[in-house]
Structure 1
Amino acid sequence: METIKQQNEIDIKNPRMLLFSICFVLMFSVMNGTMFNIAIPDIAEAFNLMPSEVSWVMTGYIMVYSVGALIYGKLADTVAFKKLITFGLTVFAIGSIIGFLAPNYYFVLVARVIQAIGGSMMPAIAFIAPIRYFPNERGKILGIIASVMAFASGIGPILGGVIAGFLSWQFLFLTSALMIVTLPFLLKNLPDEETVNVRLDYLGASLVGVTIASTLIGITLGFVYSLYIAIGFGILAVLRMFKAKNPFIPPHLFKSRNYLVAILTSFLAVACLFGLMFTVPIMLREVYSLSTMEIGLVMFPGAISAALIGRKGGRLVDQKGARKVYLASLALLSTGFLIVSSTVGLSPLIISLMLIFPMMCFPLVQASGADLLANLLAKHETGVGMGVFNLLNFVSGALSGAIAGVVLDLFRPENPVNFLALSGESAVYSNLFLTFMGLVLIGLIAFKLVYRDGEKMA
Structure 2
Amino acid sequence: MTETSSPTLKQAQKNKLTLLLCIILTFTVMNGTMFNVAIPDIAEEFGLLPSEVSWVMTGYILVFAIGSLMYGKLADIYPIKTLLTIGIILFASGAALGFLSQSYPMLLAARTLQAMGGATIPALSFIIPARFMPNERGKVFGIVASTVAFASGAGPIAGGVVGGALDWRFLFIFSILSLIAIPFLRKWLPNEEKRDGKVDIVGAVLIALSITGLLLFITDGSLYALVFAIVTALLFGWRTVTYEQPFIQPSMLKNRYYTSAIITSFLGTVAMFGMIFVIPIMARDLYSLSTVQIGLLLFPGAMAAGIIGQFGGKLIDRKGSYPVTRIGFTLVIIGTILISTFTGFPPWIIALCILVQYIAFPLIQSSTANLLTIIIPKEKTGVGIGLFNLLNFLAGAISSAVFGSILDLSNVSTLLNPLAQNGENTIYANLFIGLALLSITALLFFSFIFKGFENNKGK
- Using structure 1 for the length normalisation, give the TM-score: 0.97
Paired position in structure 2 for 1:43? 42
Deviations 1:205-258 (A, max 9, x none): 111111111111111112121111111111111111111211111111111111
- Mapped to 2, the partners of 1:411 and 1:219 lie a distance apart of 21
Structure 2 CA distance, aligned partners of 1:375 and 1:44?
46
1:449 maps to amino acid = F
| Aligned match of 1:25 | 24
| Structure 1 residue 410, shift from structure 2 partner | 2.3
Aligned equivalents of 1:267, 1:435: Cα separation in 2: 16
The alpha carbon displacement at 1:195 in A equals 1.6
User: Is the 1:11–1:191 contact (alpha carbons within 8 Å) kept by the matching residues of 2?
Assistant: no
**CA gap 1:335/1:244 in 2 versus in 1, 3 angstroms:** same
Corresponding letter in the other structure for 1:112: R
Quote the residue 1:118 is aligned against.
117
CA deviations over 1:432-454 (Å, ceiling 9, x no partner): 11111111111111111122515
Q: Which residue of 2 aligns with 1:6?
A: 6
Q: Spell out, residue by residue over 1:390-445, the C-alpha distance to the aligned partner (whole angstroms, 9 max, x if none).
A: 00001111110111101101244134210111111111111111111111111111
| Aligned partner letter, 2:144 | I
CA contact (8 A) 1:4 1:77 kept: no
1:102-141 → structure 2 map (5 Å cutoff): 102-141=101-140
Aligned mates of 1:132, 1:214 — CA distance in 2 = 33
* Correspondence for 1:435: 434
Return the alpha-carbon distance in structure 2 between the equivalents of residues 246 and 173 of structure 1: 39
Separation in 1, partners of 2:407, 2:112: 29
Which residue is 1:335 aligned to?
A: 334
Map of 1:389 onto structure 2: 388
Structure-2 separation of matches of 1:142 and 1:194: 25
**SS in structure 2 of the partner of residue 410 of structure 1:** coil
* Equivalent residues in 2 for 1:360-371, closer than 5 Å: 360-371=359-370
- Aligned equivalents of 2:410, 2:374: Cα separation in 1: 43
The reply on whether 1:79 has 2:78 as its aligned counterpart is yes
**How big is each residue's C-alpha offset from its partner over 1:23-45, in whole Å with a ceiling of 9 and x where there is no partner?**
11111111111110000000000
Structure 1 stretches of at least 4 aligned residues deviating more than 4 Å after TM superposition = 9-13
Say if 2:215 is the partner of 1:224: no
| SS of residue in 2 equivalent to 1:38 | coil
Does 1:348 pair with 2:347?
A: yes
Kept in 2: contact 1:13–1:191 (CA 8 A): no
CA–CA separation in structure 1 for the residues paired with 2:193 and 2:259 = 31
Structure 1 range deviating more: 405-414 or 169-178: 405-414
> What do the CA deviations read for 1:37-69 (whole angstroms, capped 9, x no partner)?
000000000100000000000000001101100
Q: What does residue 304 of structure 1 align with?
A: 303
Match of residue 152 from structure 1: 151
Q: Which runs of 5+ in 1 are unaligned?
A: none
* Residue 53 of structure 1: aligned partner: 52
Contact 1:5–1:194, Cα closer than 8 Å, also in 2: no
Counterpart of 1:186 in structure 2 is 185
In percent, how many aligned pairs have the same letter? 46
Deviates more, 1:420-429 or 1:276-285: 420-429
The letter for the 2-side match of 1:229 is F
Q: Give the direction of change, closer, same or farther, for the CA distance of 1:85–1:412 in structure 2 (3 Å limit).
A: farther
**Could you give the per-residue CA deviations for residues 291-347 of structure 1, whole angstroms, max 9, x where no partner exists?**
001111111111111001011011111111111111121122111111111111100
Instruction: Give SS of 1:37's match.
Output: coil
In structure 2, C-alpha distance between the alignment counterparts of 1:198 and 1:98, rounded to whole Å? 35
The 1-side partners of 2:425 and 2:255 are apart by 42
CA apart distance, 1:10: 5.4
Amino acid at match of 1:437: A
Supply the AA of the counterpart residue of 1:237.
F
**Residue type matched to 1:285 in 2?**
R
In structure 2, C-alpha distance between the alignment counterparts of 1:302 and 1:85, rounded to whole Å: 30
Greater mean alpha carbon deviation, residues 10-19 or residues 263-272: 10-19
2:163: which partner in 1? 164
Is contact 1:200-1:248 (8 Å) kept? yes
| Distance in 2 separating the partners of 1:223 and 1:12 | 51
* 2:397 matched residue in structure 1: 398
**Aligned twin of 1:68:** 67
Structure 2 residue aligned with 1:234: 233
Alpha-carbon separation, structure 2, partners of 1:169 and 1:385: 36
- The one-letter amino acid of 2:25's match is L
Q: Counterparts of 2:316 and 2:203 in 1: how far apart (Å)?
A: 35
TM-aligned CA deviation for residue 17 of structure 1:
1.3
> What letter matches 1:333 in structure 2?
V
Q: Distance in 2 between matches of 1:422 and 1:173?
A: 42
Amino acid at match of 1:366: Q
**1:73-102 residue CA offsets vs partner (Å, 9 max, x unmatched):** 111111111100110000111111111111
How many pairs are equivalent?
456
Aligned residue number for residue 276 of structure 2 = 277
Q: Which amino acid aligns with 1:148?
A: T
Q: Is the 8 A contact 1:201 1:246 kept in 2?
A: yes
Q: Tell me the residue number matched to 1:99.
A: 98
CA shift for structure 1 position 264: 0.6
Residue type at the aligned position of 1:158 = I
Deviation at 1:197, TM superposition (A): 2.6
Q: Which amino acid aligns with 2:48?
A: L
Q: Matches of residues 243-262 of structure 1 in structure 2 within 5 Å?
A: 243-262=242-261
* Cα distance change of structure 1 residues 171 and 3 upon mapping to structure 2, 3 Å threshold: farther
Q: For the structure 1 residues 89 and 412, does the alpha-carbon distance in structure 2 shift closer, same or farther, using more than 3 Å as the test?
A: farther
Matching residue of 1:292: 291
Q: Distance in 2 between matches of 1:4 and 1:36?
A: 41
Query: Match of 1:325?
Result: 324
CA distance in 1, matches of 2:249, 2:415: 45
What is the rounded CA distance, in whole Å, between the counterparts of 1:27 and 1:412 in structure 2? 40
TM-score, scaled relative to structure 2: 0.97
Q: Counterparts of 2:196 and 2:134 in 1: how far apart (Å)?
A: 24
Quick one: distance in 1 between partners of 2:263 and 2:222?
25
Q: Deviations over 1:83-129 (max 9, x none)?
A: 00110000111111111111100011011110000000011111011
One-letter identity of the residue aligned with 2:134: P
Amino acid at match of 1:242: V
